[in-house]
Amino acid sequence: MMAKKWTLVELAGMSVHQRAELYKNASRLGDTPDGAELKAQIEAAGLPYSDDAALKGDDPITLTMIRVVYSPEGREAAITATKAGEAAMAGVDPLLQAALGVDYGPHNFGTVRAGEIVGTLMRSLGYNRAPNKELPPHCIAKTAATWA
């Protein structure tokens, strides 16, 4: 049995929480064609689909953050920013914006979660936490730890 096909109008008419639940349901379908198609459709719509509550560890947004931060590009961005005297988040934040769009921000504590993930990465690379620093204006997160 084929899953329901959603239109952009139907997706736009949903609340953020309804879209979040629909996305979670699509994720539960695993790698089935219907699940993958629905997830891609929700992501491509450019509409927020996260709960306003703090992100949980198994939330699709958190999992995307982890993939971005630990990707070769994410690691390089964090290290390059750190070597330039910036917070590692200054390098990673634009990558998270590109990957998550409207689902990355303070509304769901996404910037806090991202900082935790970047911190775990930096510690795993042998860096020690240093004082917080304001981030550049292009970043959604406002402050983040520096690393030495």
Q: If the chain, 148 residues long, is cut into consecutive pieces of 10 residues, what is the mean pLDDT of each piece?
A: 76 82 83 84 78 71 94 98 98 96 85 96 97 96 96
pLDDT of residue 44: 83
| pLDDT value of position 12 | 84
The pLDDT value given to residue 124:
97
Length of the chain: 148
pTM for the full predicted model: 0.69
Backbone angles phi, psi at 84, to 5 degrees: -85, 5
12 three-state secondary structure: helix
pLDDT at 27: 84
Residue 21, H or E segment: helix 16-28
CA distance 14 to 130: 43
